[in-house]
Structure 1
Amino acid sequence: MRINFKRIDHFQICIPPGAETEARNFYIEILGLQEIPKPDYLKVGGGFWLEIADIQLHIGVENDTVSPKRHPAFEVDELEKVKSYLVDQNIRIREDRPIPDFERFSCFDPFGNRIELLGRITK
């Protein structure tokens, strides 16, 4: 099976606890990025989301320098088929809660790096 990657949806970087004001100053005031809404149930962990052209930058809060929150996320066609394919290949999968307009899951490379895959929910 060949996976048809459509685009990168978002990427996430992490900042230390208590650094959100400094991060907002840099990303919003200095770089001029636009803050966008973050789902309420994800706000508990801190951080905020930004938009860069049609890509999102998620700013997360972490103590650890090697964080499982850091990851690329790719929108793909036929998400369930992709998941089945990866499971058949013995790739570790983690189910993730849906976010507005998308179903999603994460898979991990042999080194433990997380890759999020998203499929748009058609209405």
Structure 2
Amino acid sequence: MMIPSPTPARDAQVPDSGFGLGLQHVLLAMPRGREDEARAFFRDLLGMTEVRKPTVLVPRGGVWFRADALEIHLGVEDPFRPSRRARPGITVNDLDLLAIRLADAGHEVEMDEFFPPYRRLITADPFGNLLEFLTPRGNAG
């Protein structure tokens, strides 16, 4: 079955899997030893809260963050390669304010109009992983 293009509101035509599927977190890779850069971006710039990792995972490095219904885990990858195509799509209330904050902090911001139900911007975290931020068309921000 072909599902129509997504809309900002939940599409009643999207079938229920029967499994209660949901997204608990997104895992992004990062280089070893650069947790402070992750904190500066995800905590200080994006306003997320650092989440304490389970003790058994601490020696692996990396850092986890949470805000609202979103959790992002950054895990160390050796050798590190940033994700330049695959990326999380993160909804935000005020896309314009986020674009300003990112640009003011020296991050490249690319506004994209190719996903009609949403306004969106593409940027990268300090390690080069792409991030996509979206807001439904019609939102003031």
TM-score calculated relative to the size of structure 1: 0.48
Instruction: Give 1 or 2: higher strand fraction.
Output: 1
In our comparison, the structure showing a higher alpha carbon Rg is 2
Higher relative contact order (CA 8 A, sep 6+): 1
